[in-house]
Structure 1
Amino acid sequence: MILSGKGRYSKYLRPISILFDILVITILPYYFFRELGVNQFYFGIYQLASWLIISYFSEFYEIYRYTTPIKIVSKIITQGVIFLLVVIAFFPFAKTTVFSGWAIAYYLMMAFTAIIIFKFVLFYYLKHYRVATGSNFRTAIIIGYSTQAIRLKELFEKRTDYGYRFFGFFSDKKINPEVIGRVSDIMDFALKNGIDEIYCSLNEINNTQLKDLVEFADANNKTIKFIPDSKDLFSKNLKIDYYEFFPVLSLRKTALHEPIAQVSKRIFDIVFSTLVVILLLSWLTPLLALLIKLESKGPVFFKQSRPGINEKEFFCYKFRSMQLNETTEQSVVKNDPRVTRIGKFIRKTSIDEMPQFLNVLRGEMSVVGPRPHLWSQNNLYSSRIKKYMVRLYVRPGITGLAQVRGFRGEISTDEDMINRIKYDVFYIENWSILLDIKIIIQTVVNIFQGDEKAY
C-alpha cells in the first residue's frame, strides 16, 4: 500500500515524546517518594525545570530519521546520569525530607525504563511504517553529479527506512540522463513538485547562486544541506550529520526551532499571560468596557484576521479604539479621525493590545515575537522584502524587538517595513528567555515614557 500524501505527522512526534517524558517524571515521584516527606509541588517544579535545561544542552530530543540507535543510547545515558545527580542534589536542601537511595534508584529505573521503551518503540515503529506504507516521506533533489552526490542518491534508495524520495540531479557541469535540469531550474522545480530538501555539492555553484539558493530556502520553508567536497566552508551556522557514514552539512536552524526552546517559551507565555489576565484584565476589562460603551456604540472588543505561524489565519483581539467603520484593512495614521478619545489613550499606552494575552493562552500568539501584520501588508511585502517569510515561522507576538526599537505604527515606505523585518529576523535567530524578558521590560518602560509613533 502506497499512500499518496506525505503524512507529515513527524512534527508532532517530538512534542509527544517530550510530553510523555514530563508525565513520567512528574507522576512517578508521587508513588516512590510519598513516605519521604518530599514537597511534591516544589520537587515537581525543580525536576521539570532541570529536565528541560539538561535536555536542551544534551540535545536529548534531537533525534532524526537518520539518527543511529547507538546515538540514541548515548543521549539517554547522558540525560540519565546528569538527571540522577540533579535529583540527588535536591535532598540536602529539603531539610524535612528523608534521603533514600533505594527510592531514588527505583524511581529513576522505572522512569527511564518507560522513557527508553517509548522512545525506541516510536523510533522503530516509524521506520517500519515508512517502509510498509510509503508514508511520512521527504522529497529531495541534489545539485551536482559528483561521486559524493551519486553515493548520497544510492543511500536514499538503499535506506528506505529513512523515508526519502529522490527526484533527480541538477547540474550545469555534467550531462547525464539522471541530470534533469540546470541550477537555474531548481526554484521552479522545487515549488511545482513540493521538494522538501535540497542537497548541494559546493563545487557545483558559485557564491551568487549559493546566496540566492539560501534566500529561496528561507522564503519557501525549504531545507538546504551541503555535501562536503574540496571547497572549504566554515560557518557557525553549519552542523554535520551522518547518514550511516555519509557526512552532510546542514544550516543550523534557530533556537526557536529546538523542541526544548519551544516548550520553554510556551511555558513562559502561559505563566506570564495567566498572571496578566488575573491581575490586570480581570478588573481592567469591565472598566474599559464602560468607558468604550459610553463614548461610542459597538462592541467592546475588536477582532481582526491576521496571518499567524506558517501563515495560519487567526483573529487578533484588541479593545476597540475607533468608531465603527468599514476600513478595517487600513492602517491607523497620525490624527486618524476614526480613533475615539478613549481610543487615543489606550492606543498611546498600548492598553488596546491587552486582550491579545487571550490569544497567547489560545496558542495563537506569543508574548514576545514579530508583530502580526495585516493580510494586505503580508501579501504585499512577502515577495518584495527578503527574509520576510522567516518571521512567519514562529508565533507572532504582543510586543517585539522591532517595536521597542521604535519601528511601529504607520508604514509609509518600504524602508519602514525593511527595518521591522531586520529586527524580527535578528530576534528569531538570537532568541533566549532573557531576551524576551528584556523586551518586556523595555515595552513597559516605553509605555510610561510615551512613544511618538503610538497613535
Structure 2
Amino acid sequence: MADRDAERGRGLTPFALRLRLTFLLMGVDLIAFMLAFAIIEPLKTLVGSWFSVMAIAMPIYIGMAMGTRAYGGHALRARAGSLSAAVRAVIFTFAILFLISYFFRVEQQISRLALASVMALTVALIVAGRLTFRSVIARIWPTQIWRELVIVDGVEATDVPGAQMIDAATINLVPDLRDPAMFNRFAALLHGIDRVVVISTAERYQNWAMMLKGGHAQGEIVVDTLGRFGAIGLGKLGQYDTVKVAAGPLDVQQRLLKRTFDLALCVPIIVALAPILILISVAIKLDSPGPVFFRQRRIGRNNAYFDIIKFRSMHVAQADSQGARSTQRQDKRVTRVGRLIRKTSIDELPQLFNVLGGSMSLVGPRPHALGSLAGDRLFWDVDESYWHRHVLKPGITGLAQVRGLRGSTVLREDLTKRLQSDLEYASNWSLWRDIRILFMTFGVVVHHNTY
C-alpha cells in the first residue's frame, strides 16, 4: 500500500504533492478538533450545542494556522516548527472564543471551563496527529516533498544525502549571461526543484548568482571562505553587503526573562541563608587572619573583566590571585575551614551577590581566572573558541558542572570537555534548562575532584 502511494507521489511535482499533503494535514487538524469537542461534550460541561461552537472554532483555527505558518512546505518538513505553529494557532483560536463568550454574554451557553478543557485536549490531539502524519509522509515520500539540486562547477564536492547532484562540465552547463539558450537549459533543470545550491570557483560566483536570480527556486552559492569565520547569515548596511558572524544567543525578551528569574530566586535565597553566611564569616575570621571574602578578577559576559566574590578558603599570603595554580589534594594553602567549604561548594555562596549586582547569573558557564591553565597552556591557547563561551553571563553553576566536569584542569582534554558543554548550553538556552540544571546541581554539590 505504501509503495503504491509512493508511486502516485512520484507522478506529481513537489508543489502538487505538497498542496495535497497540506490539505490532508488540514484534515488531520480538523479531525483533532472534532474529536476534542466530541470527547468533552458527553461530560455535559457544555450546556448548549457543542456543534455550533466547533463550527465557529474550526474556520478561526484554519485562519490562525495560516498566519502562524502551520501549513505549507515548511510545516511538512520541520517537525518542531510545525508543532509550535499549530499550538499557537489553537491558543489564539480559543482566546477568540473566550472573548466571544465574554462580549456577547453567552456564558450560560458556553462553559469557560469546558472551553479550557477542549483547548487542552485539542492541543494534545493535534500534536499527536501531526507527529503521526509527519512519520507517515517521511516513510512514504522521503525525498519528494522538498527537492534539492546541487550543481558542481570546477571544484570537488562530496555527495549530499537526499540531494540530486550534477556536474556542470559533464552536461556542458556554463553560466553564460549572454546566451539565452543556456538560460533555457537551466530552466529545464529547475523544473520541480525547490532549492538549488551551486558549488563553484570564486570567479564564477557572480555569474551563477545572476543565473539563480532568474529562477523560481531558492538559490544559494557555497562560498568556501565563509566557513572559515563561521558565517551565520547575510545582512546589509547602506550599499554594503555584510556577512553575519554573531547574533548573540538571547534576544531582549530572553535576557529579561533570565534576569527576572535570577532575581526572583537570588533575593529570597540570600535572605534565607543570611544566618549561615554570618556563621561561615565568623568561622573564617576565627580560623585564620585575613578578610572573610576573596575577590579575584575573572572573565565575564562579552569577555569583559569582573571581580568574583567567594569566601576566602586559603591563607592570605599563599592565595593565587591569577588562578594559575590549581588546588591539589592536601593543598597546604587551604585553611581548615576552607577545606570544608570548598568540598561542599559553600565557598561559592557569596557569588549570589554577583548575581544580585548583574555580573553573574545563577546558571551559565563558570567564570575562569585569567591565569587558568589546562596542562601547561592558558585556556585560550588550547582552543580559540574558548572566547565564544562568554556570550552569556557566567553562572554559579552550569551544564559542565552538573555533568561532573569540575575541579583542576590537569589535561587539555579537561578544558575541551567543559568548553563543549558551555557552548552547547549557550546555543540551546531555555529557562526550563536553567531550572533543570539548578535541580541537578544539588546532586553534585560534593565532588571528588574538588579540594
Q: Taking structure 2 as the reference length, what is the TM-score of the superposition?
A: 0.48
Q: Which has the larger radius of gyration?
A: 2
Higher relative contact order (CA 8 A, sep 6+): 1
